[in-house]
Structure 1
Amino acid sequence: MAQNTGFKTSRTLETTMTLEGRVLNEDGTPISGANVEGKMGRYATTNGMGYFKLPANMGEEIVIRGLDFETVYYRIRSNEDIEIRVQNPEQDTQKLSTLSYKIAMDSAQFYLKKDAQKTADFLIAALSNNPKSLSTAQESAAYEKLGDLYTFNKQYDLAIDNYTQAEALEKSFKITIKKADALRLNGNYQEAITAYKINPNKKAGALTTTDQLARLNGLADAYSKTNNETKALETYKEALSIAALANRKSEMTSINTNIASIYNSLGELDDAESYYNTAIKESKKESPKANVVTQSQTADFYNSNAQFDKEIALRKNNIQLLDEIAADKKRIKGKPESVATDHKEGFLNSPKLMAESESVSSEYDMEEIVMDSPVETTSIAPVTENTNLGLTKQKEQLKIAEALKSQNKISEAISFFEASLEEATVNNDLAIKKDAAKSLYELNKKAGNTKKALSYNELYINTVDALYLEKENELEETARKAKELVSKQTRILTLEKDRELTENKIALINTERELTQEMNQRQRWIIYSLVALSLLLLTLAYFMYRNNKQQKINNHLLALKSLRSQMNPHFIFNALNSVNNYIAQNDERAANKYLADFSKLMRSVLENSELDFIPLEKEIDLLGLYLKLEHERFKDKFDFKLDIDPAIKEAHLQVPPMLLQPIIENAVWHGLRYKNEKGYLNVAFARVENGIQVTITDNGIGREQSKAIKTEHQKKRDSKGLGNIKNRVALLNELHDCEIDIKVSDAGLSPDVGTTVVVNFKN
């Protein structure tokens, strides 16, 4: 083989092989300078003869890119040399554009399970080559096949869209069932149930036994997914009776298994075992493969209920059957040679390539038994997320070993784990190999076989790494295929839209222009009206808000003024009583002096009566004058002291006028006046952190005794005075955003030793 012209090794990942290959055009001419990319930055280019070499690992995907051909993705399956033939995209497009509807549909059917992109390309050609000549049935069939493609590739949301389109074009119970299956697989269980329940008389075509069984199985599975086991059992049993009448052995096997599974989930183990046994009997009549699958499912049932002996017996029988099946296939077909194929070897394969492709798939059939749900026909057993249920010899050996391990039969378990590991190694089954190696590590470690345990642990770690890489490759390939299929679906939608636009272009343009003009005019009027209405409403709202706010302020001001007017007459009345008392005692000199001080106080009170706030210094002067007058009247009842913090002058605080006077008046008239011995009143102004604190303390008779000796008239008047103070403070706080707080408490430890009132004026 010729030498390659470009070569770059991996920097971080050790490779296990060197892949050698050649890239050719469809006509066999070599392509030079093609880009060949592997994992971890590995790269090579083809030489003049189209050859390349690339370090790689088994199972990896390489990408071949070039300007003149479509990108090719190739998964490494063997150590043998590969030959990849590519096609020119323009040539592909030209070929597709010349295909008839029938050829395009037949080709799509051939590639349905082999190459999703090619299938989509053929279906696009079927829909777009001669759209005017397509009948409704033909167009519906193409969309149905698209739904089959997306279902097979597990893109159920896209499948639903295409089945819906097919159903809209031509009613068919078969399409309805496929759509219901896609809904169920997509998790739309309620919608699926509704679809399965559609009356068949309203659909086109006869309801065959196959259709009826498909409908009932799908409906039962949807009920099971929604935890409605009762309905699921009823539906499965109805399907079972139909299958029995039609002598459908395979359907009877799967339905019996499904019924048994539901009974198991309900905890009705006897019924579950009975149906599993019936399923095994039916599967023996069907085929060895079906028998293996059914016995494996029954063994899983026994395992879930800790009936390990029964499980082991069934799995040992399965191993024998798997050996017989493999021997029969090898004897009939022989072991085929490995054939390297790529994802894009050409749209129309030669008979030779088709035969080679079939032989490759048959080789894998020898290694694993799968239950395929065909997409091209309506499935009897409902399609599930796991359309392939893999059953291999190594898997059954592993489960036998796990059952023996659960029975604490360690030596026997180790023997089966080793057999499973050996079989998995031969068949490159990394998942089983990983589980077997891990279990052997744990059991040998437990048995004290440290050396063996370490070797199995190392094997486990290496297998996990290999499995991770394999899964990563699979996820990457799946994501790429999904992206490509979404792109194809977008193209299909675009083609459909383009066709509709082409057919109705002139009419749509004219109609759209008229509608646009009319709509724009209507929208302008609506917008203008809404803007005008909004402005009007905003204006009204603003004026209403402003009026309400002003009215509220006026009401508060009026209430505040009313409270002030109620307080001042109360004080004047008490002061005049004092003057009258002096006159009654014929103390003219004291009366004149008291009256002069009273006149001075009244002038200040009247000057401040219309103000909500006055300077704190002025309020202190007024209180000092008031205390002097009250002391003149009750010299024998109390002495007083006015403590002023020097820092008060720096506060520059404004306070409500005569707010403290009623409190001092209450202390004198209701606390100190009734005291037998001479009392004491202290009024202290202190500068605190966030304002001024005024503490008014007396050692009078206390609040409780004062209440006891009051007359009914005094009680009402005192209550009204204190209420006025509280109301005034509340209005001031709300109207002027003040923070005035009044707290009243007993001055001593008992309620008969005076009262303390603390008033806080915050800045």
Structure 2
Amino acid sequence: MLLISCTSLNAQSKFSKTKTEQTSLSISGKVLTEDGKPIVGVNIEGPNGRYASTDSRGNFQIPANYGDRLVIRGIDFETVYHTVYSNDDLEIRVTDEDDSLNDLTYSQAIDSAQVYFNKDPKKTADFLIAALSNNPKSLSKQQQAAAYEKLGDLYFNNKQYDLAIDNFKASINFIANKSVSLKRASALRENGNYQESIKAFIELGPFKNKDDEIKRLKGLADAYAATNDQQQAIAVYQKALLLSEEVGNLNEVTTLNTKIGNNLDRAGQTEKAEGYFNKAISNSTVEGRSNTIVTQSQTADFYNANQQYDKEIALRKKNIQLFEEEAKEKDSITPDREAFSDSSILSNKTAVITPEAPKLTLQKEQLKIATALKEQNKIDDAIDYYLKSLNEAEKNEDLDVLKDASKELSKLYRIKGNSSKALTYSEKYIEAVDQLYLEKENQLEEATRNAKELVAKQTRILTLEKDRKLTDNKLALASAEQALSIEANRRQRWIIYSLGAAVILLLTLAYFMYRNNKQQKINNHLLALKSLRSQMNPHFIFNALNSVNNFIATNDERKANKYLADFSKLMRSVLENSELDFIPASKEIELLNLYLHLEHERFKDKFEFELNVDPSIKESNIPVPPMLLQPIIENAVWHGLRYKKEKGLLKVSFEPHNQSGIKVVIQDNGIGREKSKELKTKHQKKRDSKGLGNIKNRIDLLNELHNKNITLTVEDANLKPI
């Protein structure tokens, strides 16, 4: 196997870039062997069909934008993904892998897996596979159980709880172990199998070790809380709290007081809840500054939920003082370099893996103070804290906080009548959303790829296990044939039985392979559908903002505010529905009506529109795909009606179809498809064809996944001019 390393001169901060989609770069680089010899014919791919390959000197050059992901492929090394953060030259070195996994002993492989456990999940999985497969006949049950337990820990850490459950179960099958069973119960809870988790925690029974019993009780109570059974959750949390106080585990005492407070609050017992939160704060001050920050923030959240904003603000201001003290002391953990979280106070000796908790930062606390002040209608004070939060977020490259602070500042300045600042922070908000979207998209792509690779590792483990069983069966069959040679009749019967077992095994194997392939196909379709559904035509957003700018330039602030409000409402609705495959027809009609009014506001002199909805459909709950029709209507306006000299007409009709369907007819009397094609640039032709292709692909996926019968027909219309 060959590995690849990729370096650049300067790693430019992602946060410092703005308007990356408008910045064109030319990325140069070279691909070399470990001793500096060029590698010819390496494939370098970028978004939107960009492509290059290395020449005889190993050099390449490819156009790119900030945030683009380049893919470097070669037949002799692993594929590498590089995100463009600067225009620095790249130097890629292909090196031989130092260690051969096939030569590792069980102990070496397990030790290596432990070293890479928190650094590289894929390498960890490779070492664990080597531990199980290099010399399987020599492995004891204890060794196999330990390897499968470590695999379960790996998948749990990477939030693939279903695979963690399988591996913990495999470990238990080799050697029954209550500690591993406790991990499996926790994985069931995290996977959403709450009833199974509750049953598993109860069946484990009390542990003799009090620390382990605390973990069992806390896990059981968490499962009850997840099912909204607050009464049971509180009772079990209190048992765990008594044990924690008995053994002097102040970390758990603080955590359990907070959990009891949260569940009492959910059960409507606010006064009792406040008492437990106060106990948690009192305990946390003994444990250290980081625990105090976490506990006070959780208590502040409780006060916020109960509209006790003065108490909330007081606690968060104390947290800000603690953050500032920590920064002055320049300890190893500071708000600038590492945020506090619930997981930071957990003991390293815990037998149950705890998922990562939301992180606390100075800018988040300032943001929440500003929100509480806004709820109290203290606008000027709220603006002051929103500005502090925004400045801190910019310094620490916190896009989430920057986005929220900019959005709220835009709203508050609009309330105060300062349109200039409102627009400034609105633009900052949009810019942050764009950058955050790009960052999340890259993270999603990376997470998806890593998840697929880890699933592939698990498939390999299952294959190794099946191969081992098949080998054992073959050896047993050979031994049986040798023994049955003494007696012909017995030999024939054993052969028949063995063949039958082999056929069943092969059929079972074929069935599982078919099922896995079918599930993978469904997963791929779901992923593709999510990708298509999440796309929104950026031209509409850009042009809508230009319209707002035009209204402001013409001193028509009222129209600008109204247009921006309608545009924000449309965008919010689109984002709310972005994870749904279907929404009610009435809601989709409302969104299209809002979109048509926005387009009409921009092109009043170009067209009028009619939105005709059959009365039987207006209040209908018939499910329809969200924003499937918007790109078609946009094409009609932009490529048909916009170029007409006289005013055109756009008609959108919703009519019943068959017994439970809807027929949507979109008609326009624009310049016609052929004339529109003549007026388009090459780039526009590509975008149109791609947009229509995305719609058709989305329809095909919806039909296949949900057994629907959605069709799209495009033809020339004979709509008369108005």
Match of residue 369 from structure 1: 340
- The 5 A counterparts of 1:340-739 are 366-372=337-343, 379=350, 383-384=354-355, 387-508=356-477, 513-515=495-497
Is the contact between residue 233 and residue 259 of structure 1 (CA under 8 Å) also seen in structure 2?
yes
Task: Report what 1:598 is aligned to.
Answer: none
Asked whether the 8 Å contact 2:178–2:204 carries over to 1, the reply is no
2:360 is paired with a residue whose SS is coil
- Pairing partner for 1:70 from 78, 82, 86: 78
- What CA distance in whole angstroms lies between the structure 2 residues aligned with 1:321 and 1:168? 49
Instruction: Compute the displacement of 1:51 (Å).
Output: 6.2
> What amino acid is the match of 1:369?
F
Q: Quote the residue 1:123 is aligned against.
A: 128
TM-score by structure 2 length? 0.60
Corresponding position: 1:223 with 2:224:
yes
Aligned-partner residue type, residue 43 of structure 2: N
Q: 1:18 to 1:275 in 2, by over 3 A?
A: farther
Match of 2:705 in 1: none
Distance across 2 between alignment mates of 1:234 and 1:180: 19
The answer (yes or no) to whether the contact 2:183–2:352 under 8 Å persists in 1 is no
Query: Which residue of 2 is the match for residue 252 of structure 1?
Result: 253
Tell me if the contact between 2:327 and 2:335 (Cα under 8 Å) persists in the aligned partners.
no
Q: Are the counterparts in 2 of residues 221 and 382 from structure 1 also a CA contact under 8 Å?
A: no
Could you say which residue in structure 2 is the equivalent of 1:37? 45
Preserved contact between residue 2 and residue 49 of structure 1 (Cα < 8 Å):
no
Contact 1:152-1:375 within 8 A present in 2 as well: no
Task: Kindly indicate whether the alpha-carbon contact (under 8 Å) linking 2:7 and 2:90 is maintained by their aligned counterparts in 1.
Answer: no
Please give the alpha-carbon distance, in whole angstroms, between the structure 1 residues aligned to 2:430 and 2:290: 34
Whether contact under 8 Å (1:32, 1:50) holds in the other structure is: yes
User: CA 1:443/1:508 → structure 2, altered by over 3 Å: closer, same or farther?
Assistant: farther
State the 1:234 CA deviation: 1.3
2:499 and 2:466 map into 1 onto residues whose CA distance is: 24
Q: Secondary structure at the match of 2:21?
A: coil
What SS does structure 1 have at the residue aligned with 2:341? coil
| Cα separation, 2, equivalents of 1:30 and 1:418 | 52
Q: What is the aligned partner in structure 2 of residue 156 from structure 1?
A: 161
Give distance in 2, aligned partners of 1:188 and 1:34: 46
| Contact residue 300 and residue 312 of structure 2 kept, 8 A | yes
Q: Which residue does 1:213 correspond to in 2?
A: 214
Deviation at 1:465, TM superposition (A): 1.4
Structure 1, residues 694-729: CA drift from partner, whole Å, max 9, x if none? xxxxxxxxxxxxxxxxxxxxxxxxxxxxxxxxxxxx
Distance apart, 1:198 and its partner CA: 2.5
Residues 210 and 378 of structure 1 are in contact (CA less than 8 Å); yes or no, is this contact kept in structure 2?
no
Based on CA coordinates, which of the two structures has the bigger radius of gyration?
1
The change in CA–CA distance for 1:363 and 1:320 in structure 2 (over 3 A counts) is closer
Question: 1:300: Cα distance to partner?
Answer: 0.5
Per-residue deviation, 1:96: 0.5
User: Per the alignment, do residues 305 and 30 of structure 1 end up closer, same or farther by CA in structure 2, a change over 3 Å counting?
Assistant: farther
Q: Shift of the alpha carbon at 1:369?
A: 2.2
Cα RMSD between the aligned structures?
A: 3.5
Change (3 A) 1:373 1:447: closer
Q: How does 1:16-55 map onto structure 2 within 5 Å?
A: 23=31, 25=33, 31-45=39-53
Q: Deviations over 1:375-416 (max 9, x none)?
A: 9966478735xx231111111111111000000000010111
Q: Do 2:153 and 2:353's aligned partners in 1 also have CA atoms closer than 8 Å?
A: no
**Secondary structure at 1:154 match in 2:** coil
- CA–CA distance in structure 2, aligned partners of residues 127 and 464 of structure 1: 46
Determine the C-alpha separation between the residues in 1 that align with 2:309 and 2:7. 60
SS at match of 2:340: coil
1:120–1:146: 8 Å Cα contact kept in structure 2? Answer: yes
Q: Determine the C-alpha separation between the residues in 1 that align with 2:201 and 2:44.
A: 49
Aligned letter for 1:120?
A
The answer for the alignment partner of 1:290 in structure 2 is 291
Distance 1:382 1:108, change over 3 A: closer
Alpha carbons of structure 1 residues 419 and 469: separation in structure 2 relative to 1, 3 Å = same
Q: Tell whether the 8 Å contact from 2:30 to 2:90 is kept in structure 1 after alignment.
A: yes
Q: Which amino acid in 1 is paired with 2:326? A: I
Cα distance in 1 between the residues matched to 2:461 and 2:328:
46
Displacement after TM superposition at 1:268 (Å): 0.9
Distance 1:211 1:114 in 2: 27
* 1:13 maps to 2:21: yes
User: Letter of the aligned partner of 1:73 in structure 2?
Assistant: Y
Task: Give the Cα separation in 2 of the matches to 1:58 and 1:364.
Answer: 28
- CA gap of 1:209–1:269, structure 2 versus 1, over 3 A, is same
* Partner Cα separation in structure 2 for residue 174 and residue 472 of structure 1: 38
Contact 1:37 1:63 survives alignment (8 Å): yes
Partner Cα separation in structure 2 for residue 81 and residue 283 of structure 1:
50
Cα 1:221–1:302 change in 2 (3 A) is: same
CA distance in 2, matches of 1:147, 1:394: 36
Cα separation, 2, equivalents of 1:371 and 1:18: 44
8 Å contact kept, 1:63–1:73? yes
Contact conserved, 2:250 with 2:283, CA < 8 A, in 1? yes
Equivalent residue in structure 2 for 1:108, among 104, 113, 117: 113
Given that residues 180 and 195 in structure 1 are in contact (C-alpha distance below 8 angstroms), is that contact kept between their aligned partners in structure 2? yes
Return 5+ residue gaps in structure 1 as ranges. 5-11, 334-361, 521-763
Distance (whole Å) between structure 2 residues aligned to residue 301 and residue 128 of structure 1 = 51
CA 1:426/1:221 → structure 2, altered by over 3 Å: closer, same or farther?
same
Give the Cα–Cα distance (whole angstroms) in 2 for the partners of residues 492 and 432 of structure 1: 42
Matched, 1:189 2:194: yes
| Deviation of 1:63 (Å) | 2.7
TM-score by length of 1: 0.57
**CA pair 29-311 structure 1, distance change in 2 beyond 3 A:** farther
Equivalent residue, structure 2, for 1:240: 241
CA contact (8 A) 2:221 2:233 kept: yes
Provide the rounded CA distance (Å) in 2 between the counterparts of 1:364 and 1:372. 16
Distance 1:466 1:430, change over 3 A: same
Gaps of 5+ in 2: 1-5, 10-19, 482-492, 503-722
Which secondary structure state, in structure 1, belongs to the residue aligned with residue 238 of structure 2? helix
Q: Does 1:311 align with 2:280?
A: no
Aligned-partner Cα distance in 1 for 2:365–2:76:
49
Whole-Å separation in 1 of the counterparts to 2:7 and 2:344: 46
* Cα separation, partners in 2 of 1:236 and 1:375, compared to 1, 3 Å: closer
Secondary structure in 2 aligned to 1:372?
helix
- Report the Cα distance in structure 1 between the residues aligned to 2:500 and 2:468, rounded to whole angstroms: 27
Asked whether the equivalents of residues 257 and 276 of structure 1 are also in contact (C-alpha less than 8 Å), the reply is yes
How far the C-alpha of 1:31 sits from its partner, in A, is 4.4
Q: Could you tell me which residue of structure 2 aligns to residue 279 of structure 1?
A: 280
For the Cα contact (< 8 Å) 1:43–1:54, is it kept in 2?
A: yes
Helix, strand or coil: the match of 2:22?
coil
Please give the alpha-carbon distance, in whole angstroms, between the structure 2 residues aligned to 1:293 and 1:498: 50
Structure 1 residues 332 and 410 mapped into 2: Cα distance closer, same or farther (>3 Å)? closer
